[in-house]
Amino acid sequence: MKPPTRYLLFCLFGLCAFFSLRAQQATVQVTDRFENKPVAQILADWQQRYAVRFFYQPPWLAGQTATATFQETPLAQALAQVLASSKLYALFYNERYVVLSPEPLGDETRQVTLIDTNQVQDAPFGPFPGGSDFALSGYVREAETGETVIGGAVYIEELERGTQTNAFGFYALKIPAGHYHVYFRSIGLEDQIVEVTLTADQTQNVELRDEAIQLREVTVMGEAEDANVRDVRMSASKMEISTMKHIPAAFGEVDVVRSLLLLPGVTSVGEGSAGFNVRGGSVDQNLVLLDDMPIFNASHLFGFFSGFNPDAVKDVTLYRGGVPASYGGRLSSVLDVKMKDGNTKEWTAQGGIGIVASRLTVEGPLVKDKSSLLLSGRGAYADLFLNMIPNDTVRSSRASFYDANLKWSYIFGERSRVYVSAYRSGDRFRLAGDTTFQWATTAGSVRWNYLLRKNLFANLSVAASQYQYDVSQMQDTAQAFRWLADVRYQSGKLDMSYYPGSKNQLTFGGSLTRYELEPGNFQPGVYNRTEAPQNLDNTYGLEAAFYASDEIKLGARVTMQLGLRYSLYQQRGAGKTYLFREGVPRLESALVDTLFYGTDALMQQYGGWEPRLAMRIGLSDQTSLKLSYQRMRQYIHLISNTTAVTPTDIWKLSDRYLPPQIADQYTVGLFRNFRSNAYETSLEAYYKPIQNLIDYREGATLLRNPLPETALLTGQGKAYGVEFLIQKKEGRLKGWMSYTYSRTLRQITGTFPEDQISLGEWYPANYDKPHLLNLNGTYQIRQRVQFTATFVYNTGRPVTYPVGRFQYQGIALPIYTYRNQGRIPDYHRLDVALTLEESLRKSKKWRGSWTFAVYNLYGRRNAYSVFFRSRGGLYPEIYKLSVIGAAIPSITYNFRF
């Protein structure tokens, strides 16, 4: 057959098919008669009678009726007459499927009716031809409690696109009109699949139920969670509270903060030290937020216990790198802790009774499904645990702490809701002698979300925080005194999220923060005749910032997140600035003049851009390569010359002699999942140079120093490392292993020898620990029995050893040169815990569990530090201090009703 003949036959076949289709459409003729009949019922009758499908949202036809008579009338003409008053457009997907919408779906539209997804069983899935884009948005909540779900996955199967719920459980997607399967997923909750027909902006709220626990040999089927591979975000860890509650902890208390020490790149100075260090950053370089309230000390009793009650916490996320542009003010990390919203369904209570502390949380609806209240409290009788520690000084000391949380929420409608949060904590510790340390935090926040449009979400928050610390020796002695200091913080912030299309998500906003620092108020006791009262001047500062960030999908495998933040800091009066003689070291002897500033006068100003960049390149469905860069600025600093954070440390704002610290971080990572995402692995490498790093001068005195600028030096630092993580998420045995190799170095160079540390050479920071290894495993022995073990190993922290000695009046005194050139012995510890559930039946009113744990199972006497003292001999006496040198058993009863 010649080509022209084939061409003619092909055209003839096409014409026949065309006229056949037109004839099929013409065969849908309507014959009907009705008077004041509901339009929805008319369409339902036509669906059964003529085998057609109408897609519409039922509210669009509520209350509408029609009167008409049809005799073999074409379907389109009959629809137009029935829906004449509805102003709805119709698109004939084919002769049997009609999509109705209040907005045009294509060029060929008519005024007709809408389609009800619930009535359709066999409708084609996917986008409608020529359809416009519409917003699909809503909230995802837990069915049992009404709690919003943070970080839940929302996925459109037909488009292979998705998003995550934000910190308030809200999601939004801009996608073409069509008929879709929408998957809603969250860890610990059952997946839910919803069929959605999108013909206009639509709200789809979903409630997810608790996942049923089935104990059997698990076979992983289907697609598991793979956010670690698909998400552009990197160097971020979200730890579930349910996971934290099974990690063995000292004295049986679940520890939100110290649980993070099992993550790669996170460490601390040692046992009995508050705070944590992330990728070479000091403790003050971590921004800790509780419902947008900044927390300046997130630990109790020098780090033995977390400052957060786990029963009141819903979500914990730690950003070690790739920090979003909405965060700023710290160099190393952001720890974002979200409190529970409160149960909107029914009143419940939960708590625990342990050997050291007890806690109770009550939550429930004030107005069902609209307003909730949460009250939580925890108190410690910590003297019992001090008696377990073999160190005589610690054992004879006295300690106590408490914390309390309150949260009220109200849902005004689908567009507006308000959250009010409050937090209070307090610690008291009396050393074996007579010195008493006290510190307390009082904080509150009000947050208002408003959905301006279906794809525009706004959150306005106002927060305030006060951190007070107090050291006293008030006995009737000649050394009696009381020293007080505090930090006050107020802020306002507006965050906006805009979803302009299916391939990008824009966030933008701004913030204003005010600082007021009282560095010290010293009052001598009645019998202290040698010292005079001293009040150091308060300091004030303002920090303003605005930011914008856009997440752009450049195809199926490439996603980029671009962010830009600008921060401006001003030191304000009233205050004074000291002037020192130039050409000599900045010491007290060089003081020549003082500048005085009035109230709210500008004393010093700093500012600059903070770019952020993150990119994901999908190498396969199970593998991705990620890159990130960030610049951070910090205007408030913790000044300390001790190894660990103590209540005597001083917070100080940037001023003429103390510029803001600036850090750049470059990160690259490879992420790979195995066996249908049952195993997650990641390998990340980072490099972080730091400008204007702060350290103290040799022999510096910081407490009660009216001229702290004479005791401080600025220089540079660098941190680099490699982090490896492997996690098993399925089966009876779950857990993870993390290993980190890292270095943290500093260099303080100056024109004069007095302005140098270690003769200007690089030296390790106090928390430099090259090797970190963490193992955590949980084994489900039976349905109600679970065993957990944790092993921790890290290199001993740096310490300064003497390199010689000299004799003075018959006493041997050490000679020191370079700082931090030695190391204390390596640290390692094994903890175990066994949890017994009384019942797993959800219908049971009272549900309890017992946790039996042993901290430091084999009684390792890990050195906290090494000290040198002279007692008249030829050589200084050397001794190691171990805070916890024995195995510590504990038992805790947890309950919920």
Which pLDDT belongs to residue 11? Answer: 46
- Cα distance between residue 519 and residue 88, in whole Å: 68
Give the least confident one: 12-16, 277-281, 579-583, 868-872. 12-16
- Helices 39-50 and 75-82: crossing angle in degrees, nearest 10, is 170
**What is the pLDDT confidence band of residue 22, given thresholds at 50, 70 and 90?**
very low
CB atoms within 10 A of CB 336: 21
In this predicted structure, the answer to whether residue 413 has a pLDDT above a threshold of 60 is yes
* The pLDDT of residue 880 is above 80: no
In whole angstroms, what is the distance from residue 202 CA to residue 62 CA? 17
> So what's the pLDDT on residue 392?
66
Model confidence at 572, in pLDDT bands (50, 70, 90)?
very high
Averaged over 614-636, what is the pLDDT? 93
Contact 105, 61 (CB under 8 A): no
Question: Tens of pLDDT along 764-789?
Answer: 998 899 999 999 999 989 888 889 99
> Which of 697, 648, 709 lies closest to 819, judged by CA?
697
The model's pLDDT over 42-86, given as tens digits with 9 standing for 90+, comes to 888 888 888 787 877 777 777 788 888 888 888 888 888 888 777
Return the SS3 of 244. helix
Q: What is the pLDDT of residue 720?
A: 96
Alpha carbons 456 and 152: distance in angstroms, whole number: 19
- Average pLDDT for the chain: 82
473 vs 471: CA distance, rounded Å: 7
Give yes or no for residue 95 having a pLDDT over 80: no
Are the C-beta atoms of 407 and 291 separated by less than 8 Å?
yes
Write the single-letter amino acid at 503: K
Mean pLDDT of 306-332: 91
Query: In sequence order, what DSSP letters do the residues of 106-125 get, joined into one string?
Result: SSS-EE---BBGGG-SSPPP
Write down the pLDDT at residue 433: 64
Confidence of residue 723 (pLDDT cuts 50, 70, 90): very high
Report residue 365 as tokens: 């609806």
- The yes-or-no verdict on residue 219 having pLDDT over 50 is no
Local structure of 387: helix, strand or coil: coil
The two three-digit tokens of residue 236, written as one number: 């971020």
Q: What is the DSSP letter of 321?
A: S
State the amino acid at position 459 in one-letter form. N
Give SS3 for 91.
strand
Q: What share of residues in the chain are helix, strand, coil (percent, to 5)?
A: 10, 55, 35
Give the separation between CA 483 and CA 576, rounded to whole angstroms.
22
Output the CA–CA distances (angstroms, integers) from residue 219 to 185, 214, 616, 679, 726, in the order listed: 19, 12, 30, 13, 20
Average pLDDT over residues 711-720: 92
Higher pLDDT, 220 or 30: 30
Read off the tokens for 199: 């013909």
Q: What is the CATH T-level fold of the domain 236-896, as seen in this structure? A: Maltoporin; Chain A (2.40.170)
- The DSSP line for 630-683 is EEEEE-EEEE--SSSB-TT-EEEE--SSSPPEEEEEEEEEEEEEETTTTEEEEE
Q: For residue 716, is pLDDT > 90?
A: yes
- Residue 377 pLDDT more than 50? yes
Report the C-alpha dihedral over residues 146, 152, 157, 162, rounded to 10 degrees: 130
Candidate from 406-410, 531-535, 579-583 with smallest mean pLDDT: 531-535
In this prediction, residue 295 carries a pLDDT of: 93
pLDDT at 644: 57
Looking at 103-112, 404-413, 692-701, which range is the least confident one?
A: 103-112
How much is the average pLDDT of 360-371? 92
The per-residue pLDDT for 656 is 93
Q: What's the pLDDT tens digit per position in 226-253? A: 777 888 888 888 877 777 777 776 666 7
**Cα angle value 614/638/532 (rounded, 5°):** 165
Full-model pTM = 0.83
In this prediction, residue 609 carries a pLDDT of 96
Q: 268 pLDDT band (50/70/90 cuts)?
A: confident
Give the pLDDT mean for 663-677: 91
- Residue 105 is predicted with a pLDDT of 55
Residue 455 has pLDDT above 50, yes or no: yes
Residue with tokens 């000044």: 639
- Pick from 119, 98, 113: nearest CA to 66: 113
Question: 98 and 25 in contact (C-beta within 8 Å)?
Answer: no
Q: Is the pLDDT of residue 438 over 80?
A: yes
Confidence of residue 671 (pLDDT cuts 50, 70, 90): very high
Residue 555 token pair: 């195809």
Residue 59 or residue 130, greater confidence = 59
Rounded-to-integer distance, Cα 86 and Cα 77, Å: 15
Q: How many residues does the chain have?
A: 897
Q: Is the pLDDT of residue 523 over 50?
A: yes
Cα–Cα distance, 311 to 856 (Å, whole number): 25
Cβ atoms within 10 Å, residue 705: 18
Q: Where are the domains of the chain?
A: 22-124, 133-211, 236-896
The count of other CB atoms within 10 Å of the CB of residue 35 is: 9
Q: What is the DSSP letter of 355?
A: S
The pLDDT > 90 percentage for the chain reads 33
Q: Is 424 helix (H, G, I), strand (E, B) or coil?
A: strand
Q: What is the distance between the alpha carbons of residues 653 and 632, in angstroms, rounded to a whole number?
A: 16
Give the pLDDT of residue 224.
42
Which pLDDT score, from 0 to 100, does residue 388 have? 62
- Structure tokens given for 647: 């209540």
Q: What is the pLDDT of residue 12?
A: 39
- Contacts of residue 22, defined as CB under 8 A and 6 or more positions apart, other chains included, come to none
Q: Token pair of 896, please?
A: 């919920």
> What local confidence, expressed as pLDDT, does residue 214 receive?
42
Q: What is the pLDDT of residue 628?
A: 95
| CATH for the 22-124 domain, from 3.40.50.720, 3.60.150.10, 1.10.3080.10, 3.55.50.30 | 3.55.50.30
* CATH superfamily name and code, 133-211: Carboxypeptidase-like, regulatory domain (2.60.40.1120)
Those residues with Cβ within 8 angstroms of residue 581's Cβ, 6 or more apart along the chain or in another chain: 590, 591, 592
Residue 394 has pLDDT above 90, yes or no: no
Instruction: Answer with the residue of higher pLDDT: 137 or 19.
Output: 137
pLDDT confidence bin for 525, thresholds 50/70/90 = confident
Please tell me which residue, 627 or 1, carries the higher pLDDT value. Answer: 627
pLDDT in tens, 161-177: 888 888 888 888 888 88
Element holding 246 (H helix, E strand):
none
184: tokens are 């809603």
Looking at the predicted structure, is the pLDDT value of residue 215 above 60? Answer: no
For the ranges 1-15, 529-543, 809-823, the maximum mean pLDDT occurs at 529-543
Quickly state the pLDDT bin for 5 (edges 50, 70, 90).
very low
DSSP conformation letters of 408-444? EEEE-SSSEEEEEEEEEEEEEEE-SSS-EEEEEEEEE
Check whether 10 has a pLDDT greater than 70. Answer: no
The β-bridge partners of 693 are 715
Is residue 756 predicted with pLDDT exceeding 50? yes
Q: From start to end of 253-347, where are the E strands? A: 266-267, 277-278, 286-290, 293-294, 299-300, 305-306, 313-319, 333-339
What are the backbone angles phi and psi of residue 377, rounded to the nearest 5°? -145, 150
pLDDT value at residue 440: 92
Q: What is the pLDDT of residue 228?
A: 77
